[in-house]
Amino acid sequence: MLKIYNTLTRKKEIFKPIKKGKVGLYSCGPTVYNYAHIGNLRAYIFADILKRTLKYNHYKIKHIVNITDIGHLVSDADEGEDKMVKALKREGKELNKKSMKEMADFYTKSFYQDIKKLNIIPADKFPKATEHIGCMIKMVQEIQKNGYAYETSDAIYFDTHKLKNYGYLARLDIKNFCPRARIKANPEKKNITDFALWFKAIGKKGNHLMQWESPWGKGWPGWHIECSAMSTEYLGQPFDIHTGGIDHIPVHHTNEIAQAQAAKDKPLANYWMHNEFLILDKGKMAKSGEGFITLSTLINKNINPLAYRYLCLSAHYRSPLSFSWENLTASQNALSNLYRIISNYPKQGKVIKKEKEKILSAINNDLDTPKLLAILWDLIKNNQPNDKKMATLLEFDKLLGLDLDKIKKTSLVIPDKIKELSKKREKLRQQKKWSEADQIRKQIEKLGFAIKDTPKDAIIHKI
């Protein structure tokens, strides 16, 4: 049985889908104002492993990943510029709708290229916020009709004190809330935790590049309403699993849940899963920081993008992952070694049943990819026939996604000296001179080859 850690309950649970054999999966997508850095990409590798695991367990999956191209302000406190507008200024582009769309399309395309290079299975749909304003307005209206929203001069706000369990996902103590990220800049806000559902285009905000007609006049959606509305639009409510980084727990996902609950009186999702940060010099990687490393940075240093995927697999998704060029190089070496070994294997035979059981046991225990890699290397070292190893490794790769099926086979050229030593060793074995035969085996290994004895003969392979 598949067990996953549910952030909502803070425990590992047996996964039970709403509809038998089907899974609705939503992952918070990128805000397309810059390239994705490798810390961002860890979230999509994690979601991909989850998706592959569900598929391995014979579920049919509908996966949605949103594209935020409007409404994400620089502060979770509903303050500052829209990140898209700020990016236009950063790049010296004209401040108009055409430039904003062109920039969003450019970084969206870059995101698609990154996930392809990382062998991430694309979502079934990548809905863009700017193309779903109608369903967002409809949800805000539902929230307002149900008494959970109020109007001020500059926005429609969600009244967090009206919702009994507001902040439960993050275990927020609302009564003693310390507003580090949420500053009460607007005196019209009733509560410090209240957040904007819809911004009105008034005053300075009237110059915002993207505006839509709404029941409250021209304006644009808040960031949080985008995910609540688009996930519900494509998956219904509730759906099965919502994923994202742990930084989304205290504000974005907390607010997503509140909006959906207020609109439909139902949970948004039954399981919430979050990956930990990629750590660089004891701090998380961020687009505004100095350690802004993209996938292109790795490629320019001759790092295979799948080496970064391998690095992510080497740590559990709920554990912080420390990044350094040393551990990335070690991952690249391990992956190259794996490719080299497989290139010498014959065509696949039958999958080893016991190994398949180990694979399923590891991955179904909350996606334990480090254990899965350990099992993989143990298999390579054991005495099973190489054709069976090959078949089983391809079974592993249905979950790992390391493109093991694309490794070209190489014809192993065995030097005459190795062949002569092997014949000499076999003769000593027939004479039961085991110690002398073992010395020759060690000599062969020093020359980069290994011998595997079978009932018929000795098989030579490259170390």
Q: Each residue of 125-149: pLDDT tens digit?
A: 999 999 999 999 999 999 999 999 9
Under a CB-based contact definition with an 8 Å cutoff, are residues 210 and 70 in contact?
A: yes
Question: Can you give the pLDDT at residue 176?
Answer: 72
Who wins on pLDDT, 427 or 52?
A: 52
What burial class does residue 368 get, using C-beta atoms within 10 Å of its C-beta: 0-12 exposed, 13-18 middle, 19+ buried? middle
The whole-number average pLDDT for the span 286-305 is: 83
Residue 99 has pLDDT above 60, yes or no: yes
**Token pair belonging to 334:** 């391990």
Question: Can you give the pLDDT at residue 291?
Answer: 62
Model confidence pLDDT, tens digit, residues 160-184:
999 999 999 999 987 776 555 455 5
Under a CB-based contact definition with an 8 Å cutoff, are residues 34 and 40 in contact?
A: no
Report which of 341, 334, 330, 340 is spatially closest to residue 380, judged by C-alpha positions. Answer: 341
1-23 burial code (b ≥16 CB/10 A, e <16): ebebbbbbeeeeeebebeeeeeb
| Bridge partners of residue 215, in order along the sequence | 217
- What's the CA gap between 376 and 452, in Å, rounded? 19
Residue 283 has pLDDT above 50, yes or no: yes
Report which of 42, 32, 31 is spatially closest to residue 274, judged by C-alpha positions. Answer: 42
Residue 282 has pLDDT above 80, yes or no: no
Under a CB-based contact definition with an 8 Å cutoff, are residues 151 and 198 in contact?
A: no
DSSP secondary structure of 4-38: EEETTTTEEEE---SBTTEEEEEE---BSSSPPBH
Instruction: Identify the helix (H) or strand (E) that includes residue 62.
Output: strand 60-65
Q: How many CB atoms lie within 10 A of CB 288?
A: 7
Residue 411 has pLDDT above 60, yes or no: no
Tokens 């990154």 belong to residue: 114
Question: Can you give the pLDDT at residue 181?
Answer: 47
Q: What is the pTM of this model?
A: 0.87
- What's the CA gap between 416 and 400, in Å, rounded? 38
Report which of 30, 264, 21 is spatially closest to residue 135, judged by C-alpha positions. Answer: 264
Residue 287 has pLDDT above 60, yes or no: no
Residue 230 has pLDDT above 90, yes or no: yes
- What's the CA gap between 201 and 155, in Å, rounded? 9
Question: Can you give the pLDDT at residue 80?
Answer: 75
- What's the CA gap between 402 and 385, in Å, rounded? 22
The packing angle between helices 38-56 and 97-117, to 10°, is 60
- What's the CA gap between 120 and 103, in Å, rounded? 23
- What's the CA gap between 263 and 232, in Å, rounded? 11
The whole-number average pLDDT for the span 203-221 is: 86
* 298 Cβ neighbours under 8 A, 6+ residues apart: 38, 305, 307, 308, 328
Question: Can you give the pLDDT at residue 289?
Answer: 53
Q: How many CB atoms lie within 10 A of CB 52?
A: 20
Question: Can you give the pLDDT at residue 455?
Answer: 65
* 178 Cβ neighbours under 8 A, 6+ residues apart: none
Give the CATH fold of the 301-406 domain.
Answer: Four Helix Bundle (Hemerythrin (Met), subunit A) (1.20.120)
Query: Across the chain, what does the average pLDDT equal?
Result: 91
Question: Can you give the pLDDT at residue 414?
Answer: 78
The whole-number average pLDDT for the span 27-32 is: 96
Residue 153 has pLDDT above 60, yes or no: yes
Report which of 288, 126, 132, 130 is spatially closest to residue 208, judged by C-alpha positions. Answer: 130
Model confidence pLDDT, tens digit, residues 346-381:
888 999 999 999 999 999 999 999 999 999 999 999
Question: Can you give the pLDDT at residue 185?
Answer: 59
The whole-number average pLDDT for the span 213-221 is: 95
Question: Can you give the pLDDT at residue 192?
Answer: 87
- What's the CA gap between 370 and 315, in Å, rounded? 6
Quick one: pLDDT band at residue 73, thresholds 50, 70, 90?
Answer: confident
* CATH number, domain 3-279, options 3.40.50.1820, 3.40.50.620, 3.90.650.10, 3.40.50.300: 3.40.50.620
